[in-house]
Structure 1
Amino acid sequence: MINIGIVGTGLMASVIASSCRKIGIPIHSVLSRNLESARSFGEKYKVPIERCFSDEMAFYSDEALKAVYIATPTSMKQKHINQALDFKKHMLVEKPIPNSFLVNNTLNQVSSSNLIFMDASHFLHNEFMVELPSLINKFVGNITRIDADFIWPSIDDGHIKFKPKLEPNGALGDLGWYPIRILQTLCDCDDSMILNPVIFNNDNDCTVGFNAIGYVDKTIFNISSSYHGATVRQELIISGDKGEIRVNDFVMPYCGSFVYGKVVDSLKVTISSGFLPLVEKQERRIVFDDYQHHQMLKCFQQSIDGARDESWWDSQHLMLRTVSMIEHIKEKAVVINV
């Protein structure tokens, strides 16, 4: 097992630290801007006090440290990614990742130094994503339309996601990462893509939502994310010349995510076609072997150990395309103040 260091002490750092302990990945050290925060975090997750750091150089220069999980605000990630590169550490980086130049440069460097650079997109690491290609082949056919939405109701209460200096992309980066990433997974979103985005900003210039419609690779798409809403929505609909499949919890499944745990025993995929979809439908149930964030950590470990097939390299390219599309949306969007 690798020795991993945790960069940051917030919610996601706690989720990953707890998961590491459950699946047997040693937490070697922790880094925080505040030494007391680092020590408090270390005490909770059994990290020796001498390996709880606020000094970045001392943290990264530790030769026993082999990998890092970076869970800082987005505005600070570039610095930590570059430091991890300098000290030859494998990286698992919480989304969103700041910019496409950084991703491209990092991918070029890790490919020549046998390091792993992976985005922490939990939802990619579950049995639904494994079965998705066969579901599309059997029930969707040639994809003609993709609808993906992620709404997580939130009030601007001073959380860092509402602070543009810390999270410059707001809901576009925080929540929008998921519909954009699934779109990139399903379509070849190249330079021929037609894109019409709208971004919604609040009075503090924080992006609280976005919508984008477009067309690429013979496929219409409609994607969105928002902090505005009365209830959580995480819906994915994939339509084609055979029919469509629909999933109501594609980001944080109710059967295996850190948010919901396992409040149901399986993920439901609704399959329909024709003019009576509410009647002429069927359901598939997909059971998860483990929580998706546990499976992500296992994938990170296995990748470091050398298990990197063609799909692994494809995922690196998709990470870059996801970041690039976020930039493209910001560049082209009509901005509405709400």
Structure 2
Amino acid sequence: MPDIRFGIVGSGMIAGVTAKAIDQATGARAVAVSSKHFDRAKKFASEHKIAKVFKSWQQLVEARDIDAVYVATPTICREEICLAALKNGNHLISEKPFLNGLSAHRIANQAQSRGLAFMDATHFTHHPRTKQVIKQQQKSIGDVQRIYSAFLFPFVERDNIRFNPKLEPTGAIADIGWYNMRAIVEFLRPAGTIQSIAGAVKRDQETGAVISGTGMIEFSSAQTSTFDFGYDAGVCDMDLNILGDNGLIQLNDFVLDWKDSFVFGNPNYSADFTLRQGMATPREFEHFAVDTQKSQVVYMIEHFCHMATTEDIELRNAAAARAIHTQELLDHYCSSVGVTLETSNF
């Protein structure tokens, strides 16, 4: 089967991470890039051995020799590009977040109506460990009742778009709070609707951007999630605690694994997790190591290529549903802390 030919919209840091993953993935090839900064796009193309450089995303999504488009632009302009890519018959993988839940629905509906794949670019979802943790949940700890997640790291660069509310209207909430919400979708899998939600956020005094927050969500199924996120902790914290009827599963790198992620990359480490039950002391904790041969970003690209070539409609629908559910949880949290979501022009 021929490679899926990718066009990349955007030339920033995360676009570079994904371009590298496309190059390393089986069944994928990056063939074009576009950016509003043409010089950056040319440099990006040279670095990643990409043949075609377009001056606009409109030219890229209309190109006939592209099978899929990866969108890595600021949130505020993402929907227009996603819809145009789908309209022109391209499968779609997009950075997150989306403008709001309605925007995510519009993109998913467009993909479904045209028989195309749509996936959000959440890396840890595709890590083999995630699947193994879910299996261990079912085997060892029973029904999951609550989870706690934290994603915090030191980052204060006010010239970055994360500190520009015009481009990223919800700041850290949707940038890294997305992963707290995705942990709910992947591991808690709430059986009920939101019963109550509360939280608090902190804004940067100079830019007004949301830079950190905390929260709690209670579902009608009596399941709960508490979470923290932000740029201002002075440390990288990626803890995840999954509590069930019969025990606890813990990870301390659930977003960017210590072993293979683009941030850390320590090949001598392993991707692991810990199981605790009853009154076990530390020497009695069970430790599980998950073998990985590739980074979770590469796994993501390969899973997307499979989704683009399969006729398994349920697989595609499930991917879209996870993106929508994650975004809708973010919307509810934003509303609870008084952060106004912009509306789309569509």
d(CA) in 2 for partners of 1:189, 1:156: 39
Q: Does 2:212 align with 1:215?
A: no
Q: CA offset at residue 277 of structure 1?
A: 4.1
Q: CA offset at residue 128 of structure 1?
A: 1.0
The residue that corresponds to 1:233 in the other structure is 237
Q: CA offset at residue 321 of structure 1?
A: 1.1
Question: Which ranges in structure 2 are unaligned for 5 or more consecutive residues?
Answer: 340-346
Q: Give 3-state SS (helix, strand or coil) of 2:165's partner.
A: coil
Residue of 277, 301, 306 corresponding to 1:273: 277
The residue that corresponds to 2:12 in the other structure is 10
**Letter aligned with residue 7 of structure 1:** V
| CA 1:3–1:205: 2 relative to 1, 3 Å | same
d(CA) in 1 for partners of 2:260, 2:57: 34
The residue that corresponds to 1:296 in the other structure is 300
d(CA) in 2 for partners of 1:322, 1:122: 14
- String of CA shifts for 1:249-303, please: whole Å, max 9, x gaps: 0110012211112344312211112345435422111121311100000011111
**Letter aligned with residue 26 of structure 1:** R
d(CA) in 2 for partners of 1:44, 1:156: 25
| CA 1:190–1:201: 2 relative to 1, 3 Å | farther
d(CA) in 2 for partners of 1:241, 1:64: 52
**Letter aligned with residue 16 of structure 1:** T
d(CA) in 1 for partners of 2:76, 2:281: 45
**Letter aligned with residue 267 of structure 1:** A
| CA 1:156–1:46: 2 relative to 1, 3 Å | closer
d(CA) in 1 for partners of 2:94, 2:8: 10
CA contact (8 A) 2:143 2:245 kept: yes
Q: CA offset at residue 56 of structure 1?
A: 3.1
d(CA) in 2 for partners of 1:323, 1:88: 24
| CA 1:130–1:276: 2 relative to 1, 3 Å | closer
Q: Give 3-state SS (helix, strand or coil) of 2:49's partner.
A: coil
| CA 1:280–1:334: 2 relative to 1, 3 Å | farther
**Letter aligned with residue 260 of structure 1:** F
Q: Does 2:174 align with 1:205?
A: no
d(CA) in 2 for partners of 1:308, 1:193: 34
**Letter aligned with residue 227 of structure 1:** Y
- String of CA shifts for 1:76-130, please: whole Å, max 9, x gaps: 2112112212212111101222221111112112112111111000101111111
d(CA) in 1 for partners of 2:285, 2:313: 36
Q: Does 2:6 align with 1:36?
A: no
d(CA) in 1 for partners of 2:77, 2:338: 27
The residue that corresponds to 1:84 in the other structure is 85
CA contact (8 A) 1:244 1:273 kept: yes
Residues 37-116 of structure 1 mapped to structure 2, 5 A cutoff: 37-48=40-51, 51-116=52-117
d(CA) in 2 for partners of 1:327, 1:288: 34
The residue that corresponds to 1:140 in the other structure is 141
**Letter aligned with residue 37 of structure 2:** N
Q: CA offset at residue 314 of structure 1?
A: 2.3
d(CA) in 2 for partners of 1:81, 1:292: 23
d(CA) in 2 for partners of 1:184, 1:18: 28
Question: Which ranges in structure 1 are unaligned for 5 or more consecutive residues?
Answer: none
Q: Give 3-state SS (helix, strand or coil) of 2:258's partner.
A: coil
The residue that corresponds to 1:244 in the other structure is 248
d(CA) in 2 for partners of 1:84, 1:189: 34
d(CA) in 2 for partners of 1:83, 1:259: 32
CA contact (8 A) 1:198 1:334 kept: no
Higher mean C-alpha deviation, range 166-175 or range 244-253: 166-175
Q: Percent identity?
A: 26
CA contact (8 A) 1:68 1:92 kept: yes
TM-score of the pair, normalised by structure 1? 0.93
CA contact (8 A) 1:211 1:223 kept: yes
CA contact (8 A) 1:265 1:287 kept: no
d(CA) in 2 for partners of 1:63, 1:191: 43
TM-score of the pair, normalised by structure 2? 0.91
Higher mean C-alpha deviation, range 143-152 or range 38-47: 38-47
Q: Give 3-state SS (helix, strand or coil) of 2:64's partner.
A: coil
**Letter aligned with residue 301 of structure 1:** C
d(CA) in 1 for partners of 2:44, 2:191: 41
